[in-house]
Amino acid sequence: MSLTEIVTPYLPGLLSGFLMTLWLSAAVILVSTPLALLLALLRDSHNFWLRLPATVYVTIFRMVPALIVLFFAFYALPQLGLRLKPVTAAILGMVAVGAAYMSEDIRGGLQAIDRGQWKAARALGLSHAHTLRRIILPQALPLVVPPYMTRAIIMMKGTSLASMVAVGDLTAEAVRASSITYQPFIFIILAGAVYLAISAALVIFQHWAEARLKPAPMARRRV
């Protein structure tokens, strides 16, 4: 049997798996981002009671393997009466973990901005939200992009775990095809190449974003 003969019957399945992987990645990254920003801000808050839960949350979810969290979302939540579809459970689990890691990346960028700027903005009578939105975030953004994109790629690769909680993503479809055709390599290598292509696309996006954000510090210097 030639290679194409083996692969062709599974192409529709692999395509739907690919789309599922894209959908999972997009959903996980996009939902995690605002949550991560919120967590990062809470962790740097002056209020102990805001800081504490955020710190506990981030610590716990960074200590436990993502797979355990996914199992928890899919298999254990029904024990509490919360029944989720496989995809929903997978997204929930991966967002819970991803946001914790991502918040650390964002926090690193925020902390690099001199605390004096907060005080200066306050002295100028700017509100907290205004300071954050117009002064701190624009400066932190170029610093945050590289670790943020690295994290996004890790999260994209991490969606392969969803195959273990009954989601038909790219890995799952490749594994299924291997299982039926007894081909240990073809489908795994094919899937690997597709993941590599997605991560390459993300890297290109990262370079583009970094290039676009570069003029910002210069503009600031001119002010």
Partner 1 sequence: MTFRSLAAALSFTVALAIPVTGALAQDATTFAEAIGAPKPIESYPKPWPLANLVTPGKLTIGTTGASPPRTFVDPVSGKLTGSYVDLFTKIATDLGLEAEFVKIEWPGILPGLAAGRFDMACDGASMTTARLASKDFLMTAPTGVNATVGLALKSSGIKDFKSAKSIGGVRGEVYFEGAKKALPGVAATEFPGLPESMMGLQNGQVELIAMNLSNALNALQSAPNKEELVLIGPALEVFAQALCVNAKEPDLLVATNLLLGNYRADGTLKAIIGKYATSTAEVDMLDKIGY
Partner 2 sequence: MGLPKILLWIFGGCHRRPGRPGRPLMSGWRTAVRSRLRSPVALDFSILAVVWPALLRGALVTIELTFLVLLFATPAGVGVALLARARVRGVRRAVMVASWVMRGVPPLLVLFLMFFGLPVIGYRVSPLPSAVMAMTLYMAFYFGEVFRAGLDSVPDGQWRAAKALGLSPARTLFRIILPQTIPAALPPYISHATEVLKGTALAASVAVPELTSAAKQVFVVTYRPFEILIAAAAIYALIDAVFIGVQALGERWARRRRPAR
Number of residues in contact with partner 1 under rule CB under 8 A: 21
Rule CB under 8 A: choose which of 53, 65, 184, 215 binds partner 1. Answer: 184
Which partner from the list partner 2, partner 1, none does 67 bind, CB cut-off 5 to 8 Å by kind? partner 2
Which partner from the list partner 1, partner 2, none does 196 bind, CB cut-off 5 to 8 Å by kind? partner 2
Sequence-distant (6+) residues with CB within 8 A of 50 are 42
First to last CA, the chain: 68
Which partner from the list partner 1, partner 2, none does 220 bind, CB cut-off 5 to 8 Å by kind? none
Which partner from the list partner 1, partner 2, none does 168 bind, CB cut-off 5 to 8 Å by kind? partner 1
Q: Does 103 bind partner 1 (CB under 8 A)?
A: no
Stretch that binds partner 1, among 71-79, 103-111, 130-138, 146-154 (CB under 8 A): 71-79
Q: Does 180 bind partner 1 (CB under 8 A)?
A: yes
Q: Does 69 bind partner 1 (CB under 8 A)?
A: no
Closest CA to 89 of 167, 170, 173: 167
Q: Does 75 bind partner 1 (CB under 8 A)?
A: yes
Judge residue 193's burial from the number of C-beta atoms within 10 Å of its C-beta, 0-12 exposed, 13-18 middle, 19 or more buried. Answer: exposed
Please, what is the minimum distance in Å from the beta carbon of residue 75 to partner 2? 4
Which partner from the list partner 1, partner 2, none does 60 bind, CB cut-off 5 to 8 Å by kind? partner 2
Residues that bind partner 2 (CB under 8 A): 60, 62-68, 71-72, 75-76, 78-81, 153, 157-158, 160-161, 163-164, 171, 175, 184-185, 188-189, 191-192, 195-196, 199-200, 203
User: Interface with partner 1 by CB under 8 A: which residues?
Assistant: 74-75, 78, 83-86, 163-164, 166, 168, 172, 175-176, 178-180, 182-185
